[in-house]
Amino acid sequence: MVKNAVGREVPSEINGQRFKPFAGVGKTLPEGRRAGSLVRMAPRGRSKVLNSLEEAIRKVGLEDGMTVSFHHHLRNGDYVVNMVMETIRKMGIKNIRVFPTALFPVHKPLVPMLTDGTIRRIEGSMNGPLGEATSYGAMRETAVLRSHSGRVRAVETGEVKIDVAFIAAPTADPYGNLNGVDGPSACGPLAYGMVDAYHADHTVAITDHLVSYPAHPISIYQHMIDYVVPVEKIGDPAGIMSGTLRITTSPSRLKIARYALEIIDRVALRDGFSFQAGAGGISLAVTKFLGDLMKKRGIKASFINGGVTKYVVDMLHEGLVDVVFDGQAFDLDAVRSLKEDMNHIETPLAMYGNPHSSGGIVNMLDVGVLGATEVDVDFNVNVNTHSDGLLLHGIGGHQEVAAGSALTIVTVPLYRYRVPVIRESVTTVTTPGEVIDVVVTERGIAINPKRDDILEAMRGSKVPIYDIQDLQKKAERICGKPQEPDVEDEIIAAIMWRDGTVIDVVRKVKKH
Amino acid sequence: MVEAGTSEKGDVKVTIEPANEREIVIKSKLERIYGNAIRNTVEELTSGITAKIVVEDMGALDWVLRARMESALRKFRGEEQ
């Protein structure tokens, strides 16, 4: 174990693979060449359409110990992960490494597979039951969590080799052209699955909407897809889409959004500026208020990077923004706009923010507004574990947006119910404080001391400004001092910084 | 049996019923974070009372717990509300 740049003890070996400790943002440089996939061919006249998943798994030669990957555009409505893993289990294939972009509560059927020998480990986000089971020690090997584009980097460098990518496709043609904007399980972009399609040794598309050749538009191209398996349903639209997303109505959350808006206005708002949008309640409010303010000022944004929702689409249609970059669609308005609007562009996750590439979209962001489970007095952010130590969330694009944006704002309540959000030390470090510029709570804001320019810009503002230590003390005075998580020494998960270094670990939680 | 509080998030429900022995039951989603603090407050406010005291916490702040405890204790003692 070595101490890394945020003071956390981390191992130099995880699952038999060597990893460097986090050394600071931008301090670990890329090495080597990009990895490739198996070279293969599809002779003229050979059909790619197969009758069953079992046939596909047999054809690609999936064996014990191999790695299978999935994307999470179908989110909590996804049927494909369970369908594929259940087939693998029934076929008696063991010791699989599952490499999803993210798993959700709907993937609870994988929990028993952690202990019956089917799955040896999961490398990816685990939202809910799988994370909880892992926290209590159900997974044989150590989980590895990466950010959206950190995962892309891991695939591109060969840190993770995908044997078979199973790609849920809301629309597919018989020769493997795929998109996510049509069909009963439409989800919008297929951005998360693109790197898997490029780099896996074998690729299987699973669809419930097989259209005649050629499907269009095309998100993932035919020359990267080996087989197409039609099934009855790949997902439940109610879980794929978020329904009508509503702006928070909580007065304290709205206050947070207004404070954030004033910071953006004073520091970054100008014609041609850009920002990251999300689907959280506060984030939606900031997007909406920002749109109103831009209209009032008569200015226009160059682009919004999303997390696309109706609020972003409305801004596009009103001419308040030139281009929308889309890595994930949250509602049907976003899906429809991606299909119809030329300046609503689907972006591969490699383009979104791979730090070891020739530059991602996040490097062009002026403003990023992010959430957090916890923030500490060093501005470190935790989005992975709850304050009792349970691993319940993925990293998402948090690291990318925080590291990329010229102005990174974290919006959080001072406490949630009785749990303080601003703490002496976060339970797990997801994103280091050096890339967090301002923390905004309903009681006031704290500016990272290294950002004098923001402090200067806020001079004369009515927004209360505190030292982050003062916010922490306020939270503790209201909530009382929280108990430390009751954990054992055993490491159940590693949290990777986007450059492939280890920023923190998560330990096994004692069951009471 | 007397009752105070609700099962709303951020609140706490306290029930007290007569019993031959003193018994305190605490259920909280925040058991791992504030179990000790909740127990201390309940012990402090009910010391010397022989009854079954059930506290179902939904993430209440300490002053909310104290207010609900006081309300339940007054009802238990038959005081005017």
Tens-digit pLDDT profile for residues A146-159: 999 999 999 999 99
Q: What is the dotted CATH code of the domain comprising A47-240?
A: 3.40.1080.10
Name the β-bridge partners of B16: B2, B53
Q: What is the reported pLDDT for A401?
A: 96
Q: Measure in Å the smallest separation between the Cα of A136 and chain B Cα atoms.
A: 14
Q: Could B35 and A417 be called an inter-chain contact, meaning their C-beta atoms sit closer than 8 Å?
A: no
Chain A residues with CB under 8 Å of B34 CB are 418, 479-480, 482-483
In whole numbers, what is the pLDDT of chain A averaged over residues? 96
User: How much is the average pLDDT of A7-17?
Assistant: 97
Any idea what DSSP says for residue A22?
P
Question: Positive or negative CA dihedral for A305, A308, A310, A316?
Answer: positive
The third-level CATH classification (topology) of the domain covering A251-505 is Glutaconate Coenzyme A-transferase (3.40.1080)
Q: What is the reported pLDDT for A313?
A: 96
Q: What is the reported pLDDT for A511?
A: 87
Among chain A residues, the shortest Cα distance to B9 is held by A417
Name the β-bridge partners of B25: B54
Indicate whether this complex's ipTM tops 0.95: no
Domains A47-240 and A251-505 share a fold: yes
Among chain A residues, the shortest Cα distance to B65 is held by A418
Confidence of residue A241 (pLDDT cuts 50, 70, 90): confident
pLDDT tens digits along A188-237: 999 999 999 999 999 999 999 999 999 999 999 999 999 999 999 999 99
Q: What is the reported pLDDT for A247?
A: 85
Q: What is the reported pLDDT for A356?
A: 96
Name the β-bridge partners of B53: B16, B24
| Contact (CB, 8 A) for A181 and A335 | yes
Confidence of residue A338 (pLDDT cuts 50, 70, 90): very high
We report the CATH number of the domain holding residue B62 as: 3.30.230.10
Q: What is the reported pLDDT for A245?
A: 78
Q: Could B32 and A479 be called an inter-chain contact, meaning their C-beta atoms sit closer than 8 Å?
A: no
Q: What is the reported pLDDT for B81?
A: 52
Confidence of residue A335 (pLDDT cuts 50, 70, 90): very high
**Cis check: omega of the bond before A217, within 30 degrees of 0:** yes
Q: Could B32 and A480 be called an inter-chain contact, meaning their C-beta atoms sit closer than 8 Å?
A: no
Residue B56 falls inside a structural domain: yes
Closest listed residue to residue A195, CA positions, set A404, A352, A28: A352
A74 three-class SS = coil
Pairing state between β B12-18 and B2-4:
antiparallel
Q: What is the reported pLDDT for B80?
A: 55
- CA gap A153, A355 in Å, rounded: 7
* Sequential DSSP letters for A486-498: -EEEEEEEEEEPT
Pairing state between β A119-122 and A444-447:
unpaired
Any idea what DSSP says for residue A1?
-
User: How much is the average pLDDT of A352-371?
Assistant: 96
For chain A, the structural domain boundaries read 47-240, 251-505
pLDDT tens digits along A416-448: 999 999 999 999 999 999 999 999 999 999 999
Q: What is the reported pLDDT for A403?
A: 97
Q: Could A479 and B60 be called an inter-chain contact, meaning their C-beta atoms sit closer than 8 Å?
A: no
Q: What is the largest CA-CA distance in chain B?
A: 36
Chain B residues with CB under 8 Å of A481 CB are 37
Q: State yes or no: pLDDT of A499 exceeds 90.
A: yes
Number of domains in chain B: 1
Chain A residues with CB under 8 Å of B36 CB are 483
- CA gap A495, A402 in Å, rounded: 16
pLDDT tens digits along A375-423: 999 999 999 999 999 999 999 999 999 999 999 999 999 999 999 999 9
Host domain of residue B20 = 2-76
Name the token pair of A316. 């596009």
A36 three-class SS = coil
Q: Could A419 and B10 be called an inter-chain contact, meaning their C-beta atoms sit closer than 8 Å?
A: no
Residue A462: which residues within 8 A CB-CB, separation 6 or more?
none
Taking the model in full, what pTM does it have? 0.95
- CA gap A300, A284 in Å, rounded: 18
Chain A residues with CB under 8 Å of B58 CB are 417
Residue B20 falls inside a structural domain: yes
Q: Measure in Å the smallest separation between the Cα of B7 and chain A Cα atoms.
A: 13
A353 three-class SS = helix
| Contact (CB, 8 A) for A204 and A140 | no
